[in-house]
Chains A and B, each alone.
Chain A
């Protein structure tokens, strides 16, 4: 049976870094899941649904086209969300989509949170705005979330964005499959080879400095 992943992305520009983050999170999840099962990814781009979402807020029912997208989310085995942070919270458009989701659409469903913003000073918006929202919706929120500030796309000061994305995708994959957390690594038993330490310093990509990625 195919594992269905729905991706909700609320970026406004085209191209959008919010969409880019959403796609990367999906890729990271599929990279782990895909080896074990068939996986499908369906992207729900809120920008393209903006007028229909507004109409639904006003009328109480969704147009057939929007209903099809909402059903996709409700039927998914896991959901990845990615929203820009505006005024210290998720964007209004993103929240409007959440407001018109069918009741209990996300209950007991694994959800991975992603957000983008102009500066890393807003990164806690995931914890003070998104987590309470998804707790209210009854979602199984992955503990690892990814905030991508503009600078993260060209800097490793806050850790490599790609590594944070890999960890988050792997964590979502584990929730979906019910796989246990990987065993802790004893740094005195399994020492990191010096070539790897050297490569990290040199900024060579592709060397995992993160233990335990499944």
Chain B
């Protein structure tokens, strides 16, 4: 099981001081948070993608992640999310493959559609095409990482003839992909079709909704022959604020909750905690609540928490990471491992994908299936629904 954090890079005033950080401060804080996440032993850090204030998340997450790849050694770098709708899938294939090389394979990514309406027209798209864009663009991206010299034609970008995106994926193995969605069954269906991971945002919505989405993904994952429903790759979001004494946590977090752009001026913090996975309390309460998630989504592979938002100062966020790393995650690792049957796989890492593909050494100037040996020269273009290991043999 992987544990990590995800950030949306919001630049929000601290309600207790009234001070808003500058964009530069926010960006540098994100770097500190990522370094700390690795230091306290977390497994993954995910960054959002934004194109509008008040966010200082990168417009192209690969820029931030390339920097993080250079200053960290172990933590998996990922996204929450990469916009599959308004980005050109060719650029996504190129940028993330390049990032994969820089990071030594220590990356994966999460596709999302984006919920800021004007971003679509700003990039020449129509929000009403959100689902078809996600379907077409990802189908192309999936091929670009697996085939050389592709001929392609679709509704939303110029056609490609004999196009090979470069660089080719590291070791000939594309990055693992998660698909994130709050409420679109089509996205759960898409993740299931490809045998990719499905990430449920989980926060802001009742658990009953998350249960329904994950159940759909698992059922369809099995339907498409990628394994049993229990073996599907599930990630969950979560949001916590912790102090040793739960009343202290509630007192300290309340002004941030009350003014938070996504929370404020609606239901009370207590109502939100009762109806959604928001947890403000002691580390022990966080451990118990997190273990409870598997009651409604089953054994899952990745837990990401949102910590750095609503104007919480950097110092507080770093303290939260200390608590996670020292008191919460070690217990959760042991407890989740004790509960998980051996038949349920871990989240795929680059090393695991390379091993599944029959080992490394497939990196090439421009990799083609034909490079692997004369015996497969006659093989036709791989079927995009096939698994990477099959494509590479």
**Which residues of chain B (140-155) have a CB below 8 Å from chain A?**
none
User: Which of B56-64, B263-271, B315-323 sits within the interface?
Assistant: B263-271
Chain B contacts for A64, CB-based, 8 A: 206, 275
Given the known interface contacts A54-B266, A55-B266, A55-B267, the answer about A60 and B205 at a Cβ–Cβ threshold of 8 Å is: yes
Q: Is B209 an interface residue (CB 8 A)?
A: yes
Q: Is A86 an interface residue (CB 8 A)?
A: no
Chain B contacts for A59, CB-based, 8 A: 204, 266-267, 272
Chain B contacts for A61, CB-based, 8 A: 204-206, 209, 275-276
Contacting residue for A63 out of B205, B209, B275, CB 8 A: B275
Closest CB in chain B relative to A11 CB, distance in Å: 25
Q: How many residues of A contact B (CB 8 A)?
A: 8
- Secondary structure call for the B interface: loop
The bracket for how many chain B residues form the interface is 10 to 19
Tell me the complex Cα distance, A61–B207, Å. Answer: 11
Q: Is A58 an interface residue (CB 8 A)?
A: yes
Chain A contacts for B271, CB-based, 8 A: 55, 63
Query: Which partner residue on chain B sits nearest A58 by CB separation?
Result: B266
Tell me the complex Cα distance, A181–B79, Å. Answer: 61
Closest CB in chain B relative to A70 CB, distance in Å: 13
Which of B204, B267, B276 counts the most chain A CB atoms within 10 A?
A: B267
Closest CB in chain B relative to A42 CB, distance in Å: 22
| Interface pairs (24), CB distance under 8 Å | A54-B266, A55-B266, A55-B267, A55-B271, A58-B265, A58-B266, A58-B267, A59-B204, A59-B266, A59-B267, A59-B272, A60-B204, A60-B205, A61-B204, A61-B205, A61-B206, A61-B209, A61-B275, A61-B276, A63-B267, A63-B271, A63-B275, A64-B206, A64-B275
Binding site for A on B (CB under 8 A): 204-206, 209, 265-267, 271-272, 275-276
Q: A55-B271, A63-B267, A63-B271 given; name 12 further pairs at CB < 8 Å.
A: A54-B266, A55-B266, A58-B267, A59-B266, A59-B267, A59-B272, A61-B204, A61-B205, A61-B206, A61-B209, A61-B276, A64-B275
